[in-house]
Structure 1
Amino acid sequence: MAQLNYNHLRYFWAVAHEGSLTRAAQHMNLSQSALSVQIQKLEHQVGHPLFERVGKKLVLTEAGGIALDYADTVFQAGEELLSTLQGRPRANRQVLRVGALTTLSRNFQLEFLRPLVGRADVELIVRSGNVRDLLAQLEAHTIDVVLANSAAPTDARSSLRNHLLAEQPVSLVGRPREARRRFRFPEDLRTEPLLLPSLDSDIRVAFDRVLERAGIRPTILAEVDDMAMLRLLAREREGVTLVPPIVVRDELEAGVLVEHCRIPEVTERFYAIVQKRRFANQLLTDLLSNLAPG
């Protein structure tokens, strides 16, 4: 069996990181045609295309993403060899690239990633963004998973898969109050001002339906699409805030906020969105296998 040609791998590695055949050829003092031939030889040897053209861009295929991870490891090992012999050892680490919806609860993200946090052999890369950009990165194999609070649209031809990780209750919370009667839901919302997630949120849409059925038109202090900001406003402002308790867990435990009531029929779901792959990231496989919907 022929051995891997590491020169070919180096050429591939350079093109993948540059994202351009032209720039990589310039940096390596090669012609584009010569560099292209080397990439083709590596593709022939591994038996898979490593790049595909999308418009004018070179995009890694799934096999290309796997090859790049291994190439990074190979060339990092060379650096670690030098560091070790110079008395500066570095741990070899696996990489998990996570995309998280900008508005997603930071507490939930931490709970999902906690088994990997602090492991010396794991490097976590977490990127925030909107759903469209994150799913594009997932399909381009530049991230391994997208964490979101709504499922990605799929059909028979889609390569995306939704894993339901958890289903959390949604509550009305607020600052502690002195000697006041118990909060009555939904009646008290006729006069109690509200801090709400934006209309883009599934829980906001469901909550609005509950109030509509009750014939209540609330006074809205603010609509916020960022859960971190909603958490801060809940601490600073009077009124009540619609939020999953996990978002304000620390404040509830410290008594900075109190939970007035849970909203019937309204929950927030958390998903891990992945792309169906022949070569799965083992770190992600382990995380998903250890979690059950709750």
Structure 2
Amino acid sequence: MAALNYHHLRYFWMIANENNLTRAAEKLHVSQSALSIQLRQLEDSLGQKLFDREGKRLHLTEAGRIALDYANAIFKAGDELVSLMHGRPASMRQLLRIGAVSTLSRNFQLELVRSLLLRSDIELVLHSGSLRELLAQMHTHTLDLVLSNRPIPRDAENNWHCHLLDEQAVSLVGKPVEGEPMLRFPEDLATIPLLLPSMESEIRAAFDFLLEQAGIRPQVIAEVDDMAMLRLLARDSGHLALVPPVVVQDELRQGILVEKHRISAIRERFYAITPNRRFPNAMVRELLKVSSRDKIGNASG
């Protein structure tokens, strides 16, 4: 096996960061044709294509993304060596990039990654966004894992794997009121203002269907697509909110909010979506193994 040419690797690193062969050649003070040859030699030595080309645009392949991660680690190690020789501490950490849909409970995310935060050998990068945005990032190999409250079907174009991490019944929660009678579900909801997840939420769809079957038209005071905001509104408004208990676990523990009614027929499910890759991040496998063993819901109610 041929030894890795670090000169070629530095050139590749510059191309990947500039995302443009011409700009990289200008910064490296070499001709574009010479740079192309160096890149081709690196690809030949690794036995993998590192870029897909669309006109003048370059896109990292899966192998290219892995090579870039290693190149970043190698050059960072060089910087840390210099730092170490000058008496400054150095460390090597493995990168794990996780995306989470903005509607997902922050408490659930925290319970999932809590053990990783205690490890000095892992650098954790967390992104938030819409499911479409995050899946697009995973498709371009800039995310290793996407957390979602919706499953994603596999198809010919996107060979995702969808792992069920946990599920729990949702509840109507509100501030405790002394002497308040027990909530009669669902009949009392015809007259009580409610804070609900947005129409795109699966638990909202199930909730609406349940009330429709009972002939109840709810008084919706607000629709919220962010669980963190729904939690704050439940704390401060005095209205009932429809949430998975994990969203308000701290408030329930402290008695700031109480469960008025748990709706066992409606379940919130939490998924980890991973790509089918030739070079999977080993930390993803470890994280899924831990979560399936410990079941996040055991810690979140």
Pairwise TM-score range, normalised by the shorter structure: over 0.9
Q: Distance in 2 between matches of 1:279 and 1:187?
A: 54
Aligned pair count reads 294
Q: Distance in 1 between matches of 2:39 and 2:98?
A: 28
In structure 2, the residue matched to 1:73 is 73
Distance apart, 1:15 and its partner CA: 1.2
In structure 2, the residue matched to 1:270 is 270
TM-score, with normalisation over the residues of structure 1? 0.97
Distance apart, 1:157 and its partner CA: 4.9
Distance apart, 1:120 and its partner CA: 1.4
In structure 2, the residue matched to 1:149 is 149
In structure 2, the residue matched to 1:286 is 286
Which stretches in structure 1 are left out of the alignment for 5+ residues? none
Q: Distance in 2 between matches of 1:71 and 1:200?
A: 41
Q: How does 1:25-104 map to 2 (within 5 A)?
A: 25-54=25-54, 56-104=56-104
SS at 2:161's partner residue?
A: strand
In structure 2, the residue matched to 1:245 is 245
SS at 2:141's partner residue?
A: coil
Distance apart, 1:57 and its partner CA: 2.9
Q: Distance in 2 between matches of 1:150 and 1:186?
A: 26
TM-score, with normalisation over the residues of structure 2? 0.94
Give the direction of change, closer, same or farther, for the CA distance of 1:86–1:154 in structure 2 (3 Å limit): same
Distance apart, 1:77 and its partner CA: 0.8
Q: Distance in 2 between matches of 1:153 and 1:39?
A: 37
Opposite residue 112 of structure 1, the aligned amino acid is L
SS at 1:166's partner residue?
A: strand
Distance apart, 1:181 and its partner CA: 1.1
SS at 1:141's partner residue?
A: coil
Give the direction of change, closer, same or farther, for the CA distance of 1:56–1:272 in structure 2 (3 Å limit): farther
Distance apart, 1:168 and its partner CA: 1.8
Distance apart, 1:238 and its partner CA: 2.3
Which stretches in structure 2 are left out of the alignment for 5+ residues? none
Q: Distance in 2 between matches of 1:239 and 1:84?
A: 57
Q: Distance in 2 between matches of 1:54 and 1:136?
A: 17
CA contact (8 A) 2:20 2:56 kept: no
Q: How does 1:94-243 map to 2 (within 5 A)?
A: 94-243=94-243
SS at 2:231's partner residue?
A: helix
Q: Distance in 2 between matches of 1:49 and 1:225?
A: 41
Give the direction of change, closer, same or farther, for the CA distance of 1:57–1:100 in structure 2 (3 Å limit): farther
